[in-house]
Amino acid sequence: MQSFTLKSGGNKTILALGAESAGNFSIYSKNKICFSRDFGDLLIDKNFQNYQTTLSGFLKKNKIKPDIILIDLHPLYRTTELGKNLSKKYRAKLLPVQHHLAHIFAAVGEEQLTKPTKFNTCFYGLACDGTGYGQDNKIWGGEVFKFTATHSKIITFERIGRLENQIMIGADLAVKEPARMLLAVLAKFLSKEQIYVYLKKYYNRNEFSLLFNQLSSGFNTTETSSTGRVLDAIALLLGFAGNERQFKHQPTRLLEEHSTIPYDDLKPKILPDKKTKKLILLTTPLFEYLIKNLRRNKKRLAATAQLYLAQGFYKIINAHWNSKAPIYLGGGLMDNRIISSYLKSRGAIGNKKIASGDASLAFGQLVYYLLS
């Protein structure tokens, strides 16, 4: 266990359980945060057993009885169920923290530990990620937030922008098979026959028709603003990844590895949402551009696509921006050098020592609670 001192939180003992794809927990007690190792994917029974055994042993050895337990907002995570059970055992208050807020506050927390900052009226947060359960019951992953603060306390936050929602055919199956995402995006501007040209190496006619009909009917589909799902589909379209993901972020890493110099003839397209007026970075025009230019250098197209997202996110922040307000970066896809280097070159702050992905999520949950 690593430990850090953070003077905030009072006398409460707080346990944060993290998410699921990279299991970790954090404990706040007596102005100290203890931060566990990464236990790996908790959907693997052995990993989850190790996680629970280590957590139980740590609590028992240090005679820790949590007053508050923090969990991810996702209702089906194993850590969510564990949190419910532990809250009954310890008679502790159970509080969910939205996944991407926790990611952003992992970066905020790292800076607070190394260089305590008094927030100046407001600050911004950008999360680029694969999967996170949103407050509207959709899957988030490309989110821009504005936080209002007084000194070191967060008063309110607002989701001021996001990526365009795309459809996940088969819900979580679209994470494992990026071609499902590609099909859904292409269906916004191509005919069924035109789409099949790009997907025939992954599905036969009958399989493709079943997926197309599923998309048309809306059966077992969900909307997502995930950066990861967009990049997965682009990696597939450009031929750098196949339709079976071997490990988390594999298609996006392959896309980044095969990127060279971006073209300069594509600018981010942003529109306000008709209902909420929040700014939406459109990703469908990005795919239209890629389809139109597929005969060009694919390594340059790969870089162009990633830069499009980085420029678009920054443009959303710029529409609201107080130039003295810091911008914090979070989420597993902030490891992407094209996206993160563009944003950091404009002053944004990301994790340096603490992981930017789910391996620091419990830490971010704690920091969010302590500063809000």
**pLDDT tens digit sequence for 154-174:** 778 899 999 999 999 999 999
The residue extents of the domains of the chain are: 1-97, 118-353
Assess whether pLDDT exceeds 60 at residue 8.
no
Q: Do 1-97 and 118-353 show the same overall fold?
A: yes
- Taking 80 as the threshold, does the pLDDT of residue 322 lie above it? no
Residue 2 has pLDDT above 60, yes or no: no
Q: Which residues contact 331 (CB under 8 A, 6 or more apart)?
A: 100, 103, 127, 128, 129, 132, 141, 227, 356, 357
CATH number of 1-97: 3.30.420.360
Q: What are phi and psi of 104, to 5 degrees?
A: -65, -40
- Kindly tell me if the per-residue pLDDT of 9 is higher than 60: no
Instruction: Please spell the DSSP secondary structure of 60-79, one letter per residue.
Output: HHTT---SEEEEES-TT-HH
Distance CA 166, CA 31 (A): 43
Mean predicted lDDT score pLDDT of the chain: 92
CATH code given to domain 118-353? 3.30.420.40
Residue 342 in tokens: 């563009």
pLDDT, tens digit, 9 for 90 and up, residues 275-301? 888 999 999 999 999 999 999 999 999
Q: Quick: pLDDT tens for 68-124.
A: 999 999 999 999 999 999 999 999 999 999 999 999 999 999 887 777 666 657 889
Give the contacts of 198 (CB within 8 A, at least 6 positions apart): 182, 186, 237, 291
Instruction: Give the amino acid at 156.
Output: T
324 touches 120 (CB < 8 A): yes
Provide Rg for the chain, Cα atoms: 21
Q: Are the beta carbons of 226 and 129 closer than 8 angstroms? A: yes
Report the pLDDT value the prediction gives residue 154, as an integer from 0 to 100.
75
pTM: 0.93
